[in-house]
A and B are shown apart, each in its own frame.
Chain A
Amino acid sequence: MIDKKHDDGKFIRPLAFIGIAAIIIISFSFFILWRIDNPRAELIRIAVIDKIVPNLDWAITPATKVSQMAQNFQNYKRLYDQNQELRNELQKMRSWREAALQLEQENARLLDLNKVKLNPKLNYVSGKILVDSGNIFRQSAIINLGSLDGIVEGWAAMDGLGLVGRISGVGKKTSRVLFLTDTSSNVPVLIKPSNQRAILSGDNSIQPNLLFIENNKQIQPGDRILTSGDGGVFPANLLIGQVSLNNLNQFKAQLSANFSGLEYLRIIRHSPNATINQPSRLIGPALTKAESDD
């Protein structure tokens, strides 16, 4: 740009110097802004991504499809073995299904007798994963749902079966899902059947750590991990996975969500229950002013 008039002008050197200095100052001030006012800088980032990523969809989709085809082709090689395994599993599942149906009916009958009001039913919106973070130290992805679809920061993202992560950053047409495997993801969980509480903390591997377990002796590999709903970010009782033990005797979580084949995510619409922060609100209607003063 500046170089265009290099043969006739004498002002190129100072002009070029000013240009370079300006660019260096701009990029450094971006860094300072990112550090000082991180939320605002992330808003700028989301706005930029919102402009760029939905328009790149036509180009990224073929690349993804091709690589997935290559992976599928590898899978075909062991199709027969897989088929046999699935048949066996299906046989077992049939009996479980029968048991589950009976239990469900019984449960419904008992609930009806008790007139219990459980948590409000969760419903969800499904979105497609557009791009991932492209960075080996960050585990997140951008999906094609944003504030126009009513997405709210903090909502849970699941694949068909298990929890995948939560919404962190919402643009107009896109939003970012932070995975459970990211180092900045910490989720309060409940381990069944012993009802131990713990924190599921990501560590950039496919098996996040289980930290701060109340009593290590009461849990065993294979126990189920559910969200506890503590902290009010996630609804309670979403399936996360199973407990496993690594060779350093640390408890890890074997996630139920299939991270290698994620294409679509379900975002759980969830409005937190009314919080109870005053003893007087526990029972009955709000007290009048005269009564609550003493």
Chain B
Amino acid sequence: MIKSYKTKVLLNQSLYFLIFILGHFILLAPISLVPVNILLPEIMLLITLVLIIRNPDYVPIWLIFLVFMLSDFLLTKPLGLNTFITIIITEFVRRNRPAFIEMLFFSEWLLIAIILLLASISKQILLIFTLSERQNWINIFPQIGVDILIYPIIVGLVRIIFKVKKSEESISYSIRNRS
């Protein structure tokens, strides 16, 4: 039983990494170099959050670090900043997973929305403190809005692709929380 669960976890982790690679192929492919103003949701972040609530075994912290660090490198973003914020919020959600499991979907959505908002604001504040080049405040709110609106869709897709449910037992963290 444990053996087969381990292979399942491994398969799902590779699936997660595969989605990351595919998503970044599409972002990076030089299809048209005309500047576009379509806001794309931060799909990787949303998938990570959804998976952490559903089954944290599929997204261990080292995998999150790898994925977001690579994405920072490839997408010419401030190195490490996105990774730093993402790891903090995912660890927060991971610690509070039992609370998330008991919630109705709407309260989960609301809480995730607040977390995303706080994360963006703290990212912005860090950039201000370090006097870095940054977006206007006006530009970050549509991004958060798009992320929040797309969250239920991501939840649906993740449930289909990874075949996870909220009530799922995750070995590592359930034991740890019980002790």
Contacts and interface: CB of A to CB of B under 8 A. Distances in A.
Given A63-B26, A206-B35, A31 B80 contact: yes
A45 B75 CA distance: 10
Interface string B69-82: 11011111111110
A30 interface: yes
A131 B33 contact: no
Interface string B17-34: 000000011111111111
Contacts of A53: 74
B32 A48 contact: no
Contacts of A133: 75-76
B34 A45 contact: no
B7 interface: no
Contact of A34 (B28, B37, B57, B78): B78
A26 B81 CA distance: 11
B60 to A, nearest CB: 7
Contacts of B65: 23, 26-27
Contacts of B61: 19-20, 23
A45 B73 contact: yes
A132 B31 CA distance: 8
Nearest to B77: A135
Interface in A103-137: 129-137
Interface residues of A, number: 58
A24 B62 CA distance: 11
A205 B29 contact: no
B33 A3 contact: no
Interface string A15-39: 0100110011011111101110000
Contacts of B172: 3, 6
B24 A134 contact: yes
Contact of A204 (B25, B26, B35, B62): B35
Contacts of B75: 133-135, 138
Contact of B35 (A6, A33, A205): A205
Contact of B79 (A34, A63, A67, A131): A34
A179 interface: yes
Contacts of B39: 136
B112 to A, nearest CB: 21
A71 B34 CA distance: 14
Nearest to A143: B30
A137 B88 contact: no
Given A1-B62, A19-B61, A30-B80, A141 B176 contact: no
Contact of B28 (A67, A68, A132): A132
Give me the 10 closest cross-chain CB pairs, A-B, nearest first.
A30-B80, A134-B27, A3-B172, A131-B28, A31-B80, A34-B79, A27-B83, A27-B84, A134-B28, A132-B30
Interface of A: 1, 3, 6-7, 12-13, 16, 19-20, 23-24, 26-31, 33-35, 41, 44-45, 48-49, 52-53, 56, 59-60, 63-64, 67-68, 71, 129-141, 179, 181, 184, 204-206, 259-260, 262-263
Interface of B: 24-40, 57, 60-62, 65, 68-70, 72-81, 83-84, 87-88, 91, 126, 130, 132-133, 135, 139, 171-172, 175-176
